[in-house]
Amino acid sequence: MANIVRAIGDRSIRAYIDPERGTVSRELYVNDDIFAQELEQIYQRCWLLLGHESQIPNPGDFVVTRMGTEEVLMVRDRKDHKIRAFLNSCRHRGMKVCRYDEGNTLVFTCPYHAWTYDTKGKLVGVGFGNYANAYTDTLPTGSEEWGLVEVGQICNFYGSIWATWDPKAPSFQDYLGPFAESLRHCLQSSDGEDAGLEFFTPFQRHRIPTNWKVPGFTSVTDLTHTAMTHRSAQAAGLHEDRGTGKETAKPFPQEKYAIGDHNLGHGGMCTFYDQLGVPDYANEWFEPGVDDYFRAQTERKKLLIADRIMPPHGWGGGHFAIFPAVMVDSWRIRYYHPHETGITERWSLFGVDKNAPDHVKDAVRHYAERFNGPVGFFESDDMENWNYVFPASQGATARKYDYFYRNGLGHGKYDDRLPGVVVNGSYTEEAHRARFSRWLAFMEAKSWDDLYPLNKSANHNIWPGVDGQASAKA
């Protein structure tokens, strides 16, 4: 195994990426030391998705979610009704405070020695000690320091809930940069109303025996995988089960690209619309009446943004990834929680217009259940490929041969329509490369002070061939 000094700011990690060749060492995917560093350098700092406010509508509601390898309680407080998030680990001696998936509660009482926390995470009881010099029924002095460990920052972004452990991280809005409008767009209902989605419960959760970066860095903008990986769905005519009677909508002037923000790590598929407003709705549902609903919604949305250009992602624009591992595909969100170097838990969330009629909600739900996740027609083929990447990359021989990320290297350009983002052909690996630029920045940074956008003058793009001044349009 490569010898990696586990020190913050250690520069040796840079040697595992060869920007000129466009390659990345397999050590990044199979090395336990690197995995441990990622948990510190990336998962302790980045904004991570916790869930959606619709999961916990009432005071006292809670749901167990994850941040990286750790469980987190997302709770709506009984008094101020605010959403907070806490590590699911008792401050006494570390027991899981809550082992239910979700519920409604007054307090969380630890099943070990009964330390008890309210829905603000405050320690409000320490159990049954009645002896002098032991715990007493009254709280020990200093008990305010012994509340549940709370996240550093939390943000409700149009209904979706995000958190970071790091109080020094920039605001979530700044973290998203030019992708904020895209995420906002994806969380709108199909008629363009902000925060217009609710999310089906529960999320699909399943384990894949692979490194989190295999799907996390790759799956969102990997157009070259589709024809081969998803051959069986094509051959079995399963796509046609959705969207029978497909009609082509009036063409809308647009350009499609793969894009990557090397300073923020986000990127994916993108559509630049060269016309104001919203394109006509194209049929894509098999179930009766569903296309009628979405067509009427689209007509309302047309009125709403007739004088604007649509954001480049969401609702037909293409999907994108938020660093480190959230994939946003309009109302479909997938994210990847690392468990171990070679074990990842994949969560899928599916949104639907809050105000949609039942027959529409049913159709969307059936699509979610049947096409996605471990049982899904489509995604089951992805799982097999993502899985066996790991054992086939792990061996002493295999790990000496770097992964190829050269597709489109040197052909990227900046574009005024998304400042700071590199735009490249839609079949290129531009978004993958951007993820590695950002990955390296995190792995080398001593703190958020070294990381854009607090350090706005930094350029973290490690790959050659982008002229910082040029514009794809010019």
Partner 1 sequence: MVNVGGKQTMLEDLILQHELEQFCYLEARLLDERRLTEWLDLLSEDLDYWMPMRRNIKFGDWDKEFTDHHKEINWFDETKDIIAGRIRQINTGVHWPEEPVSRFEHLITNIEVVSEDADGIRVNSKFHVYQNRLQDEINQWVGRREDLLRRDPDTKFKVVKRKIILAQNVMLPKVVNTFF
377 counts as binding partner 1 under rule CB under 8 A: yes
* Residue nearer to ligand FES on the CB measure, 135 or 347: 135
d(CA 279, CA 305) in angstroms, rounded, equals 11
96 counts as binding partner 1 under rule CB under 8 A: no
Candidates 105-113, 244-252, 266-274, 376-384; binding stretch for ligand FES (CB under 6 A): 105-113
* Residue nearer to ligand FES on the CB measure, 95 or 305: 95
CB of 73 to ligand FES, least distance (A): 14
Which helix H or strand E contains 72, and what residues bound it?
Answer: strand 70-76
Is the alpha carbon torsion for 66, 269, 214, 377 positive or negative? positive
95 counts as binding ligand FES under rule CB under 6 A: yes
Choose among partner 1, Fe ion, ligand FES, none what residue 40 binds, the Cβ cut-off being 5 to 8 Å by kind: none
Instruction: Please check whether residue 77 is in contact with residue 84, taking contact to mean a CB–CB distance below 8 angstroms.
Output: yes
Candidates 9-17, 231-239, 411-419, 449-457; binding stretch for partner 1 (CB under 8 A): 231-239
Instruction: Please check whether residue 30 is in contact with residue 390, taking contact to mean a CB–CB distance below 8 angstroms.
Output: yes
Residue with token string 């949104």: 351
Kindly report the backbone phi and psi dihedral angles of residue 204, in degrees, each rounded to the nearest multiple of 5, phi listed first. -75, 125
339-378 mask for ligand FES (x: CB under 6 A)?
----------------------------------------
CB of 64 to partner 1, least distance (A): 8
Which helix H or strand E contains 297, and what residues bound it?
Answer: helix 290-304
- Within 115-144, the residues that bind ligand FES by CB under 6 A are 115
d(CA 250, CA 279) in angstroms, rounded, equals 7
Kindly report the backbone phi and psi dihedral angles of residue 329, in degrees, each rounded to the nearest multiple of 5, phi listed first. -125, 80
Compute how many residues bind ligand FES; rule: CB under 6 A: 10
| Residue 377 per-residue DSSP state | T
Sheet holding 107-109, edge to edge: 107-109, 115-118, 123-126
d(CA 223, CA 380) in angstroms, rounded, equals 17
336 counts as binding ligand FES under rule CB under 6 A: no
d(CA 183, CA 282) in angstroms, rounded, equals 22
444 counts as binding Fe ion under rule CB under 5 A: no
Instruction: Please check whether residue 417 is in contact with residue 317, taking contact to mean a CB–CB distance below 8 angstroms.
Output: no
Closest CB to Fe ion: residue number? 382
Compute how many residues bind partner 1; rule: CB under 8 A: 43
**Which one among 6, 14, 308, 365 touches partner 1, defined by CB under 8 A?**
365
Sheet holding 23-24, edge to edge: 17-18, 23-24, 403-404
**Which one among 164, 229, 330, 341 touches partner 1, defined by CB under 8 A?**
229
**Which one among 63, 75, 90, 233 touches ligand FES, defined by CB under 6 A?**
90
User: What does the angle CA 213 – CA 41 – CA 144 come to, to the nearest 5 degrees?
Assistant: 125
* Residue nearer to partner 1 on the CB measure, 149 or 343: 343
CB of 51 to ligand FES, least distance (A): 25
* Residue nearer to partner 1 on the CB measure, 329 or 345: 345
CB of 328 to partner 1, least distance (A): 18
- Within 375-394, the residues that bind Fe ion by CB under 5 A are 382
Instruction: Please check whether residue 458 is in contact with residue 448, taking contact to mean a CB–CB distance below 8 angstroms.
Output: no
**Which one among 9, 57, 103, 395 touches partner 1, defined by CB under 8 A?**
103
CB of 229 to Fe ion, least distance (A): 5
d(CA 211, CA 386) in angstroms, rounded, equals 8
Instruction: Please check whether residue 78 is in contact with residue 60, taking contact to mean a CB–CB distance below 8 angstroms.
Output: yes
Residues in the chain: 474
Those residues with Cβ within 8 angstroms of residue 5's Cβ, 6 or more apart along the chain or in another chain:
12
Report the interface residues with partner 1, using CB under 8 A. 99-103, 200-209, 229, 231-233, 235-238, 241, 345, 350, 361-362, 365-366, 368-370, 373-375, 377, 380-381, 383-385, 387
Report the interface residues with ligand FES, using CB under 6 A. 90, 92-95, 110, 112-115
Report the interface residues with Fe ion, using CB under 5 A. 382
